[in-house]
Every structure is written in structure tokens, then in C-alpha cells.
């Protein structure tokens, strides 16, 4: 069993994501929600990608989702697993699966946060 862990690159912090990062530091996932069409989107944008409204705001998310697809990169050290996770709130995000497998499509997962290379927490998912 490989015990090394892969450190993800920092997303950086700016006016567009400071609320997201602040919540992530407390272990909470935030998603951008549109007050005009009622849809939630990922990645976070100030303008809604569904209806172009600028009436968007951060809302707390459940952190729960299901695996839409995944792929483990075996030929790197340490291996890692990329996945699309469809969140309970609707959007699908590209992320990493961590923790013990085996992974499968439709698997229920829960968000957790890992420190990136500068310490900024980034969301990853593990089996729920
Ligand atoms: Zn909208």
C-alpha cells in the first residue's frame, strides 16, 4: 500500500473565492446559487451560466454527492484518482477521490478538504 499523498496546487485566493476559502477552512463547502433561476452552479461565477443573471450568491452545500465517473492515474507516484462528482445540489465538479477504494460509479461520497501546496484547503471526496 502506498502511503504517500499527492499535494494539490493551490487555487489562489482572490475576491472571487475568498468566501469559498473561508468556509473551506471551517470544513464547509459553499456553492454559487442564482436567485433569478434558482439553479446552483460549479465552478463559482458571479454571473449565472444558466440565465446570465448577476443575482448570484454563496450558499452552504451539503457536501454530499455521487460519483459520475472516475479514473485512477496509476503510472505516477503516488497514484491518484480524478473524478466527476455530481453534487446533491445539482452541479457536477471535477475533483479527486481519496481514501480506500474500490471506487465505483454511483458511489455516495462526502466532501473533505485537503491542504494544497500553500495550505489553502481544496475540496476532495471520499466514500460516505
Ligand atoms: Zn440563473
19-70: pLDDT as tens digits: 999 999 999 999 999 999 999 999 999 999 999 999 999 999 999 999 999 9
- Residue 50 CA to ligand 1 center (angstroms) comes to 5
- Residue 47 CA to ligand 1 center (angstroms) comes to 8
Q: What secondary structure does DSSP assign to 19-65, as a single string?
A: HHHHHHHTT--EEEEETTT--EESS--SS-TTT--S-EEEEE---EE
- Asked if 55 contacts 35 with a C-beta cutoff of 8 angstroms, the reply is yes
CA–CA distance, 85 with 14 (Å, rounded to integer): 25
- Residue 18 CA to ligand 1 center (angstroms) comes to 21
pLDDT at 84 over 50: yes
- Residue 40 CA to ligand 1 center (angstroms) comes to 8
Q: What is the pLDDT of residues 92-121, one digit of tens each?
A: 999 999 998 899 999 999 999 999 999 999
Amino acid at each position: 500500500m502506498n502511503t504517500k499523498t499527492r499535494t494539490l496546487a493551490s487555487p489562489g485566493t482572490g475576491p472571487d473565492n475568498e468566501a469559498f476559502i473561508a468556509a473551506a477552512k471551517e470544513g464547509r463547502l459553499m456553492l454559487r446559487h442564482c436567485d433569478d433561476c434558482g439553479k446552483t452552479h460549479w465552478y463559482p461565477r458571479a454571473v449565472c451560466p444558466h440565465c446570465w443573471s448577476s443575482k448570484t450568491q454563496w450558499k452552504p452545500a451539503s457536501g454530499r454527492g455521487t460519483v459520475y465517473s472516475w479514473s485512477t492515474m496509476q503510472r505516477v507516484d503516488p497514484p491518484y484518482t480524478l473524478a466527476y462528482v455530481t453534487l446533491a445540489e445539482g452541479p457536477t465538479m471535477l475533483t479527486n477521490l481519496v481514501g480506500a477504494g474500490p471506487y465505483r460509479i454511483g458511489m455516495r461520497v462526502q466532501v473533505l478538504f485537503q491542504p494544497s501546496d500553500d495550505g489553502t484547503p481544496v475540496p476532495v471526496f471520499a466514500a460516505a
